[in-house]
Amino acid sequence: MISAENIQVTYAGRPAIDGVSLTVPSHGTLGLVGPNGSGKTTLLRALYGAVPLTAGRVLLDGDDLAATRRRDIATRIAVVAQERDATSSGMPMSIADLVMLGRLPHQGFGTRTTGHDRAVAAGALDAVGLTALARRDLTRLSGGEHQRALIARALAQQTPHILLDEPTNHLDIRYQHEILELVSSLPGSAVVLHDLNLAARYCDQIVVLDCGRVVAEGTPCEVLVPAVLEPVYQRPVTRVDIDGEITLVFPRTADRKTVRQP
């Protein structure tokens, strides 16, 4: 379980996260939603220690995250971030090599890759549908293929917690649903999503953020309601419930301006 206790993150003297408390469960999926600039990514980064706190603390299975070694964190939390890292900077590396990096936290210094490591990596590739492309260089991937490769790397870490920032970016409809079905089957996860309808379908609990603060938290049924969403997103919202599934519709506003084509 990952717990944030009244945490604050400040940039340039202004709080990006202001007094947030929440729990990422050991079982189930927590969705973080809110408009651009609401603090979703900053909050997620705080949960794995990528940004310093100016107040509060984060506990990882009862241990203070700030006092926990980075290697130990990597054996307990896997991360799929939005920003692309050195693996996408043009250096030669195959998908299989990238996914194998997920095994590093479990290996001692100088330890060779084992058959178990290879089997875990192969299973992760299969889970995201990339087995046939395992030897392809990262520079030859589409945005969606690269995103799935990063998710496979996180799966290969075999951690009890996984944190994902917009994992459906660059994915078509099929893979959006397949990846979130996979995420929702994992032991304990937190995921930042912009698509509220995907959050409604795949998250067990949802936290709505606005201006760095929690404005609502609870089940999708409790939180994804016009009374909560309209003030936050500044748009009218219609909710439709069919056979237990929530669908949110955002109608056009009456004062919508027409953009003239040049």
Specify the amino acid at residue 23: T
Domain 1-76+159-234 has CATH 3.40.50.2020: no
pLDDT at 22: 97
Residue located via tokens 């949802």: 206
pLDDT at 112: 82
pLDDT at 240: 95
Of 186, 142, 193, 149, nearest in space to 167 by CA: 193
pLDDT at 34: 97
Q: Which residues of the chain have pLDDT under 70?
A: 83-91, 109-110, 254-262
Other C-beta atoms lying within 10 Å of the C-beta of residue 42 = 20
Which positions ≥6 away from 34 have C-beta within 8 Å?
Answer: 40, 208, 209, 210, 232
Of 79, 16, 27, 22, nearest in space to 49 by CA: 79
Domain boundaries, the chain: 1-76+159-234, 90-157
The pTM score is 0.90
Q: How far apart are CA 125 and CA 111, in angstroms?
A: 22
pLDDT at 119: 97
Residues 18-30 pLDDT 10s: 999 999 988 999 9
Query: Is residue 164 a contact partner of residue 210, using CB atoms and an 8 Å limit?
Result: no
Specify the amino acid at residue 71: R
